[in-house]
Amino acid sequence: MPTALVTGASAGLGRTLAAALVGRKWTVIGDARDAAALASAAQQDGFTAIPGDVTDPAHRAALADACPALDLLVNNASSLGVTPLPPLARYPLADLEDVYRVNVFAPLALTQLLRPAVVINVSSDAAVEAYEGWGGYGSAKAALDHLTAVLGAENPDRSVYAVDPGDLRTAMHQRAFPGEDISDRPLPATAVPAFLRLLDERPPSGRYRAADLLVTA
């Protein structure tokens, strides 16, 4: 039975993807900072909850102890950063460092520690498009994209993917647009088949858009 570690598994895309993997008879280790929400997500048999912060080395060590033989790492945990989204010229640098710790350093640290056969780093269109106010989050995701590309080049025996799931109806997306109605965004479940397709077909390492994977499926 294959084993996956999904970070940020208490809600949104992480929770939905973890449930889909359990439905495929994977053993899933899920982490998130919200212990109560993570416990609620881990009601299925095969889903083990280990709450904590991926930026904490001790927590990462606990995750490694829980899955000594790992087939899939999904680096889904992300930090949007300061809200309302500030321009880069006024972005508090201490907060920007926190964004990079969650979105860049923690995924790399887990990849180094666990060395799974497949790594999926959840990216964003903000990594490749210059949106006003998205400089902190977007530049961190751009760094994650490049990190993913280099890891793929350096490890040709492994599958290393960056996946842009598109705009989804999640709590983090709502925080980016306070007071706005985001009910027109699709639910996270709509993107999950794209991730499963990567696992089924194992295309070359690289950056993929969920929308493209779904269209050509």
Q: What pLDDT was estimated at residue 172?
A: 73
β-strand pairing of 118-122 with 206-209: unpaired
Q: What pLDDT was estimated at residue 183?
A: 82
190 secondary structure, DSSP code? G
β-strand pairing of 72-75 with 3-7: parallel
Q: What pLDDT was estimated at residue 167?
A: 84
Q: Range with the lowest mean pLDDT among 12-26, 84-98, 158-172, 195-209?
A: 158-172
Higher pLDDT, 191 or 179: 191
pLDDT of residue 171 exceeding 80: no
Q: Which residues pair with 208 in a beta bridge?
A: 163
CA 102 to chain centroid, in Å, comes to 10
pLDDT of residue 174 exceeding 80: no
What's the CATH code of the domain at 84? 3.40.50.720
Q: What pLDDT was estimated at residue 56?
A: 98
Domain assignment of residue 15, given as a range:
3-215
Q: Is the C-alpha dihedral spanning 58, 61, 65, 70 positive or negative? A: positive
CB contact at 8 A, 33 and 45: no
Q: What pLDDT was estimated at residue 180?
A: 79
Q: What pLDDT was estimated at residue 184?
A: 81
Higher pLDDT, 184 or 72: 72
Domains contained in the chain, number: 1
206 secondary structure, DSSP code? E
pLDDT of residue 175 exceeding 80: no
Strand order in the sheet with 72-75: 47-49, 27-31, 3-7, 72-75, 118-122, 159-164, 206-209
For 217, counting Cβ atoms within 10 Å of its Cβ (0-12 exposed, 13-18 middle, 19+ buried), the class is exposed
pLDDT in tens, 46-88: 999 999 999 999 999 999 999 989 999 999 999 999 999 999 9
> Considering the chain, what percentage of its residues have pLDDT values greater than 70?
97
Cα separation, 127 vs 136, in Å, equals: 10
In 3-state terms, what secondary structure has residue 155?
A: coil
pLDDT in tens, 124-146: 999 999 999 999 999 999 999 99
Q: What pLDDT was estimated at residue 176?
A: 66
Concerning whether 161 is annotated as a catalytic residue, the answer is: no
Catalytic site residue from 91, 100, 137, 161:
137
Q: Kindly give, in sequence order, each residue whose CB lies less than 8 Å from that of residue 181, ignoring residues fewer than 6 positions away.
A: none
In this prediction, residue 216 has a pLDDT band, given cuts at 50, 70 and 90, of low
pLDDT of residue 217 exceeding 70: no
CB contact at 8 A, 9 and 18: yes
